[in-house]
């Protein structure tokens, strides 16, 4: 099977077809809604800035998401049931790593609080490129020539971003952005499998709970050494991070349930447009031409690698 088509994993014992029919229009609507939600989450993270550390922001994202998800389970009377705990565990680890790197890139965790929303978002969207490559490594699929060509273009774009002059986010922000895309690729591969077998609300709720539990020791350790509670403004923004991120993730999981990964990845580029617009209009960001050109090449390479080939 060619890796031009992202992995369409069937339930155990199935015949290779998805348990749900493809509904491209519905998947597109869900994905665009998720893109808007993730963009709103990025705006909240950027607005918080250095008021709250990255571990605390990730913890708030997980804690609010878990509480909201459990509440929805009670209201909708949905049972919390997991059929693939190992895959869910991988999704929690990969997703948490992606959040830490993405929030760190936005907040400028390694560059003195000078992060760029637009650059971080574009580098996160290199995930489809890594998905195409990891599918060959993890699923034993043959890597096509188009995928290798896309990898070359993507690596050139990444090198361009790193070789350019120091921007507001610095090279550390570029590295964190790239790492967020790599972690996200592992998360997307597991999401596709989970979306077929598990209830989307349960997947999002348990992911959020797992994220909160993973970063809680770091948060408590930091609080023990510097006991500072966030103010009312920061608390409100942290709630916005959790709420918008959770709702966006529910929509994204539904999108993967009803559409092929390539369609979801394509419409997910709308998030980049939302974040570039927000970074320019709200925060006055002016990413360097090197960062924009390099990130743009990497995003296009990922799209090319993940787009299905005609039979």
**Per-residue model confidence (pLDDT) at position 15:** 35
**Per-residue model confidence (pLDDT) at position 7:** 36
What tokens appear for 51 in the block?
Answer: 């008021």
- Output b/e per residue, 195-218; b: 16+ Cβ within 10 A: bbbbbbbbbbbbbbbbbbebbeeb
Name the average pLDDT for the chain: 77
Q: Is 2 helix (H, G, I), strand (E, B) or coil?
A: strand
Which has the higher per-residue pLDDT, 172 or 310? 172
**Per-residue model confidence (pLDDT) at position 61:** 94
Residue 12 has pLDDT above 50, yes or no: no
**Per-residue model confidence (pLDDT) at position 226:** 79
**Domains of the chain, residue spans:** 24-306
What tokens appear for 263 in the block?
Answer: 């369609």
What band does 49 get if pLDDT is binned at 50, 70 and 90? confident
Scan for tokens 């389970």, then name that residue: 73
Which has the higher per-residue pLDDT, 260 or 206? 206
**Per-residue model confidence (pLDDT) at position 6:** 37
pLDDT, tens digit (0-9, with 9 covering 90-100), for 231-270: 899 999 999 999 998 888 888 877 877 766 656 665 666 7
Residue 260 φ/ψ, nearest 5 degrees? -70, 150
pLDDT, tens digit (0-9, with 9 covering 90-100), for 269-310: 677 778 878 888 888 877 667 667 776 776 676 666 656 555
**Per-residue model confidence (pLDDT) at position 208:** 93
């Amino acid at each position: 099977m060619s890796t031009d088509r992202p992995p369409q994993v069937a339930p155990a014992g199935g015949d290779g077809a998805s348990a749900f029919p493809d509904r491209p229009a519905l998947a597109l609507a869900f994905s665009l809604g998720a893109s808007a939600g993730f963009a709103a989450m990025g705006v909240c993270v950027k607005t918080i800035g250095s008021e709250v550390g990255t571990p605390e922001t990730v913890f708030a994202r997980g804690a609010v998401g878990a509480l909201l998800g459990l509440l929805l389970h009670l209201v909708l009377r949905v049972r919390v049931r997991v059929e693939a705990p190992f895959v869910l565990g991988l999704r929690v680890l990969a997703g948490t790593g992606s959040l830490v790197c993405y929030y760190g890139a936005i907040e400028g965790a390694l560059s003195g609080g000078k992060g760029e929303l637009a650059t971080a978002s574009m580098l996160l969207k290199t995930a489809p490129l890594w998905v195409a490559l990891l599918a060959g490594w993890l699923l034993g699929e043959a890597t096509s020539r188009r995928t290798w060509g896309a990898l070359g273009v993507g690596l050139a774009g990444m090198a361009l971003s790193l070789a350019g002059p120091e921007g507001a986010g610095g090279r550390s922000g570029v590295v964190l952005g790239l790492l967020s895309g790599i972690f996200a690729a592992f998360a997307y591969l597991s999401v596709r499998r989970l979306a077929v077998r598990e209830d989307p609300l349960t997947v999002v709720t348990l992911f959020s709970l797992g994220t909160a539990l993973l970063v809680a020791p770091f948060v408590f350790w930091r609080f023990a050494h510097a006991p500072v509670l966030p103010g009312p403004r920061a608390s409100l923004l942290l709630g916005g991070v959790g709420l918008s991120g959770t709702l966006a993730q529910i929509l994204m999981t539904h999108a993967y349930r009803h559409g092929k990964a390539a369609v979801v990845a394509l419409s997910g580029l709308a998030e980049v447009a939302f974040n570039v617009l927000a970074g320019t209009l709200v925060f006055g960001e002016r990413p360097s031409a090197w960062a924009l050109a390099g990130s743009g090449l990497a995003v296009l390479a990922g799209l090319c690698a993940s787009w299905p080939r005609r039979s």
